[in-house]
Structure 1
Amino acid sequence: MESEKYLEGQSMQRPPLFESDGFIYWKNRFETYVKSKDLDLWHVITDGDFPPIQNNLETKKDEVVPFHKQNDDLKKKLAKNNEAKMVIYNALPRKEYERIFMCQTAKEIWDTLLITHQGNNQVKANKIDLLVQQYEQFMIPEEESIDNAFAKFNTIITSLKALDESFPTQLLGKNKFYEEVIKKDSETVKSKREQSRSIALKARKESCYDDDSLNIRYEK
């Protein structure tokens, strides 16, 4: 299989292999990988290519510079444009590459991947609305462990953050989850108290029944 040949994780030189079924997960890992390598590459991917523009010392204006007049610093900067495309190519399987090979820039490739797997603005807004609803209605079932509940809650939070970077995941997320944990603990304590009261009441009734039986025997 292609993914087996990829040997992801054995070399920090290869970006995370693209996952269409877990796009948000891959997107976050890919972003972290690129930023750890070169922040200029991430700028090119999200904002567009560096233009072949250089400040003219005579006119004091930025001008488009033909290749044969570009200095080494500008050439190195422009090389980032192809490096950004290559880092995305290295993460994609052939099927996904066939979707984007006509794209001219890294930003076009990235935007195509986002629209294809994350949806356009309307689809994205619908996903955000659904996740916000899941966030607001989140509850921890009595029979579920805290670890499992946290994993589910964390999936909602990270998905929201991936779709909407302005979503304040850290503080609100922690507060929301801790509120549910406290709520679950209090409900558990309440349930145990009611259970104890029920057992005590049952024992009291049985004791009264036994006393009545003894009185009847004594009267005979």
Structure 2
Amino acid sequence: MTSNTLSFNAPQTFNGENYQIWAIKMKSYLEAYDLWEVVMEDKPIQQLTEKSSDAEIKLHSEEKIKKHKAKIVIQNSVADSIFSKIIACETAKEAWEKLEKEIRLLGEDFKDNRIVEKILLTIPERFESKISALEESKDLSTISLVELISALQAQEQRRAFRQDKIVEGIFYANYQKRKVDYPPCKYCKKKTYLEKFCWWRFDAICGSCKQTGHVTKVCKFKDTQDKSQALLVEEECEDEFY
């Protein structure tokens, strides 16, 4: 039976710090007044009817009061800044679970903030301009880890793109320097190589058709000669077999 002398002021007010200690003390406090089961299970109260007995009516009233007491205890045991997070909760169970969820989120944010702080202290010099720009646009103490990483990745991608363009420009410049205009070839009229290397020079002898005036690479009878050679070899093999 729940005591009617219950003090709704919890032994400690939770202000966002030392949640685990506060939760243990609150559990013991609620258990002492037979309210912990209400927080954990939150069983529905059996509805009364016209035929309900006096005992059923009394039990219904007691269960309803316990639910209200458990909710009030939790509300009165947190600071106003924390109360604003559970103000819309209808039951003690909902308020307790909401607090647990908020604490997990606070823990994740704290962990992210520590990582952000470490990144800012150890960041390479090439990112200093980006960090300065971020400082001018927002408070770095509130920047999230995801936001910081995205900003640094964007700068790194832009830097890599600029470097690619620079390298491309260097290659093109070197190519232009190496590029030489030779005198026009008297055979093909091109200016990209010396005349002695022309495929169509008069003294060139084709290894495929044995004619002069071109090399094997550009011989129009090359494929025909290759096929004929292959047939000849095949016939010789057949003659040898038989």
Q: TM-score, normalised by structure 1?
A: 0.40
Task: Determine which structure has greater relative contact order: mean sequence separation of CA pairs < 8 Å that are 6+ residues apart, divided by chain length.
Answer: 1
| Greater Rg by CA | 2
Which of the pair is proportionally richer in helix? 1
Q: TM-score, normalised by structure 2?
A: 0.36
